[in-house]
Every structure is written in structure tokens, then in C-alpha cells.
Structure 1
């Protein structure tokens, strides 16, 4: 049995599936972007990359399991989603003739955002290693907190 048949595989998560939907919508819209308009053509690969990150990083976060790694992937997902929306605005600013379709991406990203919020709530804050960079530690865990300090607090 492959991992894709596993009901616990991330592809079964609503967040992952919505990310895949966003990728498919984005790929179809990218086909409409003219390649002879330099400003719009530059945005094409950026849209695809950002849309792909929405599912790829869900898989990475699910595989990582540790709180700090999951939060790092969540931050990358958030950035990709926000960049995807910014690129839509950029296309409009550069006169994209098929801008009426960009609302499809925006609406899908909004639905994705709501799923994302619920997904992050399920991260196990107590399954962690101390993030020495201090960005993704659970609340109350300081960068200077060592495993020995944690053991002494019991």
C-alpha cells in the first residue's frame, strides 16, 4: 500500500486539497498571461511557485511533526498566499486583460486562510525542540531554555 492510499496522508487534509485547487486555478489563469508583455510575463512563474507552496509546505509540516518546524512551514505558507494575492494585484496594475478571473484565486485563498487557521490550532505545542533562533518556540519557551532546565522544572 502506498502512502497516498493512507487516510492519514496530508493529501486528505482539507487544507492540502484547497491548496491543490488553488494551484489548478492559478495554472489555468497563468496560461492567459501574455508572454510578450515583459511585466506580466515576470509574474507567471511567481504565481505558479506561490500556488505550489500552499500544498508542498503542508506536506512538509505534516512530515516534520515538531512544533517549530510546523510553524516554520506555516509561515512560508502564509507568505506564499499573501504573495499570490499581491501578484494578482500586480497583474491588474500591469493591465492584465483577463483580470476578471483573478477573483477566483482571491476567493480560494480566503477559503484556504480559514482552513489554515484551524490547521495551525491543531499543532502540538509540546512536541518541540527549542528553536535557537527564537522565532517558533511555543509560548513561554525561551531561546535560553535548555532541555536540562526543562527537566529541573518538573
Structure 2
């Protein structure tokens, strides 16, 4: 799936289904975290982490779309994957530490699973040949090695 473009040819992440689902997850997380009592220090700290992770689901999509290069898009995708997995872990932590409104957590888990499907499709649309060699070797396209670069820049 090609990302939508504006009149000047720039990507418009807000029109991507992945971005919109990320925004939905953020709003759902905000509603759920609003049920956490401020007096509970453990749950309150989880609330902050949850909101941060949920916000990364849109911010990093926008960053990847702006970067356009394969290595930078993959780097952002890595942050997105970690944030989504951490958000799922936070749901389990809420249950473990006595969050009373656990029945709302299945909504968040389901939304993250829907996001995961959109994420897979989005990543498959990355152009592996629009890249700058990642000299650390993590985010190069298949067949490109970090040693292949003649650049001395870091």
C-alpha cells in the first residue's frame, strides 16, 4: 500500500489506516488510564508509560513517512513494535497490580492486534532500495552489508 500524498508529493501519514488506528489506540489508552486512581503510585506510574507508548504509535509512523529511507523507516518501525508490545505488557501489569476495571483491557488488546495487522502491511510497503547504508548493520536491505559502504561518515 502506497502512502497517500499531498499536492506537493509529500506523504500524509494522517490518512494512513495505521496512523488512524494508532490514534484510536491512544484515545482508548487515555480513557482507560483515566480510570486509574492517582493515589495508587504503582498504577499511576504505569499510566504514564502507557500514554507514552500509545503516543509513539502515531509519532513514529509520521517520522517514518517523513524519512522515506528504508533504514530510517525500519528504525521507526522497531520503536513502534516495541511500544505496542510494551503497551500489551502494561495491560498485564495493570491486572497484576489490582486495576479494578480490567474488563476494558480486552478492547485495548484487540485494537493493538488490529494495529499489528496494519503494521505488517505497512512495513511490507517499504522500498528496500531507497536506503543509505546503515554502518551499524541493523537496518540495511537484504543483501547489503555494513561493510559495503565506502563512506567514512558515522
Matching residue of 1:58: 61
Q: CA deviation at 1:69?
A: 0.1
Indicate the RMSD between aligned Cα atoms, in angstroms: 1.5
Q: Distance in 1 between matches of 2:131 and 2:30?
A: 36
Q: Distance in 2 between matches of 1:109 and 1:80?
A: 10
Matching residue of 2:42: 39
Per-residue CA deviations over 1:22-66 (Å, capped at 9, x if unaligned) read 000000001001111111111011000000000000000000000
Q: CA deviation at 1:146?
A: 2.0
TM-score (norm 1): 0.90
Matching residue of 2:72: 69
Runs of at least 4 residues off by over 2 Å: 5-8
TM-score (norm 2): 0.90
Q: Aligned with 1:114: secondary structure?
A: helix
Matches within 5 A, 1:73-88: 73-88=76-91
Q: Aligned with 2:39: secondary structure?
A: coil
Q: Aligned with 2:84: secondary structure?
A: helix
Per-residue CA deviations over 1:96-152 (Å, capped at 9, x if unaligned) read 00011011110000000000000000000000010011110001000000269xxxx
Matches within 5 A, 1:97-136: 97-136=100-139
Q: Distance in 1 between matches of 2:69 and 2:41?
A: 42
Q: Distance in 2 between matches of 1:113 and 1:24?
A: 17
2:95 to 92, 98, 112: 92
Per-residue CA deviations over 1:46-101 (Å, capped at 9, x if unaligned) read 00000000000000000000000000000000000000000010000001000110
Q: Distance in 2 between matches of 1:146 and 1:90?
A: 44
Larger Rg: 1 or 2?
A: 1
Matching residue of 1:30: 33
**Structure 1, gaps ≥5 residues long:** 149-154
**Structure 2, gaps ≥5 residues long:** none
